[in-house]
């Protein structure tokens, strides 16, 4: 899951980033409204956290521009003032939710989960292939009913696979989406992590779910009959 944080206060931005990364989200930060808008159009985000007061272009104007161009990504607005007029203005322009500063990180997290859940049909509460199940809300992973412990990165990688079962994913695509880096700078790490995942979700089970497609990449799929 990739989240864009458009926030000019460096302290707040890094507080949000640290917390979300610890939960396994990938986070990009844009320091003003112009950069934020460009980033939002240039990348596929699952969610945007948008501060109201921003240099160059304020939050409401960023939001309006996104919606005008049919960018439907869920937007959670942050505001310093808890006034009804502010909330109405944001919701009118297409914000999905609102949070007043200062906020508790746990509340931000709960709202993010709620938005991601209802955000789009691509954001169901859980993902599965065969007897492997990943719960997007509790972050629990199990195979054939047995709980499997994953690190945040392994979870993100497995989630990426499970969002597109049957599709062969190249290492470049995985590098971009799960690690946010270009493949050139990043070769063996993906193979290493896929092996970690295999040890946890495939080893010890009669059928394997993660398959190597030689010269192309990896795919997760239902076992063939
Ligand atoms: Ca601000």
Q: How far is the CA of 137 from the centre of ligand 1 (A)?
A: 29
pLDDT band at 183 (very low <50, low <70, confident <90, very high): low
Q: How far is the CA of 57 from the centre of ligand 1 (A)?
A: 11
Q: How far is the CA of 124 from the centre of ligand 1 (A)?
A: 32
Question: In angstroms, rounded to a whole number, what is the distance separating the alpha carbons of residues 12 and 87?
Answer: 20
Q: How far is the CA of 126 from the centre of ligand 1 (A)?
A: 34
Across 122-161, b (16+ Cβ under 10 Å) vs e yields ebeeebebeebbbebeeeebebeeeebebeeebbbbbbbb
Helical axes 10-22 vs 105-119, angle rounded to 10°? 60
Q: Percent of the chain at pLDDT above 70?
A: 93
Ordered structural domains, the chain, with CATH: 2-118 (3.40.50.2300), 126-220 (1.10.10.10)
Q: How far is the CA of 63 from the centre of ligand 1 (A)?
A: 15
Summarised one tens digit per residue, pLDDT across range 55-81 is 999 999 999 998 888 787 899 999 877
Average pLDDT, the chain: 87
Q: How far is the CA of 68 from the centre of ligand 1 (A)?
A: 23
Summarised one tens digit per residue, pLDDT across range 78-114 is 987 767 777 777 777 788 888 888 888 989 998 998 8
Q: How far is the CA of 156 from the centre of ligand 1 (A)?
A: 30
In what helix (H) or strand (E) does residue 54 lie, and over which residues does it extend? Answer: none
Full-model pTM: 0.55
Between residues 170 and 56, the one the model is more confident about: 56
Q: How far is the CA of 188 from the centre of ligand 1 (A)?
A: 39
Residues near ion ligand 1 (CB < 5 Å) are 8, 51, 53
């Amino acid at each position: 899951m990739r989240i864009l944080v458009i926030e000019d206060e460096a302290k707040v931005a890094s507080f949000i980033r640290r917390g979300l990364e610890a939960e396994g989200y990938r986070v990009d930060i844009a320091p003003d409204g112009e950069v934020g808008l460009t980033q939002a159009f240039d990348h596929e985000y699952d969610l945007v956290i948008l501060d109201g007061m921003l240099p160059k272009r304020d939050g409401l104007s960023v939001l309006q521009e996104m919606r005008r161009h049919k960018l439907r990504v869920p937007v959670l607005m942050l505001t310093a003032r808890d006034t009804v007029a502010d909330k109405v203005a944001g919701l009118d322009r297409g914000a999905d939710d609102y949070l007043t500063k200062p906020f508790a990180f746990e509340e931000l997290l709960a709202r993010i989960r709620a938005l991601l859940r209802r955000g789009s049909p691509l954001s169901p509460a859980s993902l599965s292939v065969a007897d492997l199940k990943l719960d997007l809300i509790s972050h629990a992973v199990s195979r054939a009913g047995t709980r499997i412990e994953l690190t945040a990165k392994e979870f993100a990688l497995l989630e990426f696979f499970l969002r597109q079962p049957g599709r062969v994913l190249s290492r470049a695509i995985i590098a971009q989406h799960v690690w946010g880096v270009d493949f050139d700078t990043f070769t063996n790490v993906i193979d290493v992590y896929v092996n970690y995942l295999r040890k946890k979700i495939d080893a010890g089970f009669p059928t394997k779910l993660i398959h190597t497609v030689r010269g192309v990449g990896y795919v997760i799929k239902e076992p063939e009959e």
